Amino acid sequence: MIQVTFLTNSGKVASAPANSNLLRVSLREQGGIPFKCGGGLCGTCKCRIEAGLEHTDAVKPKERKHLTEDQLKAGYRMACQTFLNGDVSVSWVPLAERRAPVPRTEPVAAMAMPPQDKPEP
């Protein structure tokens, strides 16, 4: 059995068999890693392996779509894509504390209204 420490969830420790998926362990053991994958928000299970990164499997193509090379080097992974083969400690930023995507500031042509002619008094 391996041990997973959920640092952001008050250091909760869970045991799991080797080759376990990190998100499934979190769900089963109430580890607390956020996810909204089923709601179409892929990438919400982003977390950081603080210790034991060497006990994770290879980075998947789906992770490369959501994480930069610098993030991967810093230990960030997507819990839904990560399988564990040894003890790890993991942290994450709660969804409520994450920054919302920056809205686009480009003018939308469809919303531009032509000026209205005003009748003279």
Q: For the segment 47-64, what is each residue's pLDDT rounded down to a tens digit?
A: 999 999 999 999 999 999
Amino acid (one-letter) located at 77: R
What is the tens place of the pLDDT at every residue in 71-104?
999 999 999 999 999 999 999 988 778 776 555 5
Closest residue by Cα to residue 81 from 28, 31, 41, 43: 43
> Cα angle vertex 108, ends 103, 111, to 5°?
125
**Domain at 2-95, CATH class:** alpha beta
The whole model's pTM is what? 0.76
> Cα angle vertex 116, ends 114, 121, to 5°?
165
If phi > 0 it is left, if psi is from -120 to 50 it is alpha, else beta; for residue 43 that is: left
